[in-house]
Amino acid sequence: MANKIRVTVWNEYRHEKSEAKIAEIYPEGIHGEIKNILSECDDVEVTLATLDMPEHGLTDEVLNNTDVLIWWGHMAHGEVRDDIVAKVRNRVYNEGMGFFPIHSGHHSKPFKAIVGATGDLYWGKDQPEIVWNIMPQHPIAKGLPTCFELFEEMYGEPFRIPQPDELIFNSWFEQGNVFRSGCVFYRGVGKVFYFQPGHEACRSFYNENVRTVIKNAVHWLKTDLTPDNVDKGCYHQRASVLEELHAKK
Q: Which is nearer to Zn ion, 191 or 199 (CB)?
A: 199
> Which one, of 205, 129, 201, lies nearest residue 169 by Cα?
129
- Cβ burial of 36 (10 Å; 0-12, 13-18, 19+) is middle
Q: Which of 58, 72, 153, 159 binds Zn ion (CB under 5 A)?
A: 153
Q: Which is nearer to Zn ion, 142 or 156 (CB)?
A: 156
Q: What's at 139, amino acid-wise?
A: P
Closest CB to Zn ion: residue number: 199
Single out the segment in contact with Zn ion by CB under 5 A; choices: 64-72, 137-145, 195-203, 206-214: 195-203
Q: Which is nearer to Zn ion, 74 or 222 (CB)?
A: 74
Single out the segment in contact with Zn ion by CB under 5 A; choices: 6-14, 133-141, 147-155, 212-220: 147-155
> Which one, of 192, 188, 16, 190, lies nearest residue 102 by Cα?
192
Interactions with Zn ion, residue window 93-112 (CB under 5 A)? 104
Residue 33 sits in the site that holds Zn ion (CB under 5 A): no
Single out the segment in contact with Zn ion by CB under 5 A; choices: 10-18, 176-184, 194-202, 212-220: 194-202
> Which one, of 51, 40, 46, 53, lies nearest residue 69 by Cα?
46
d(CA 226, CA 242): 19
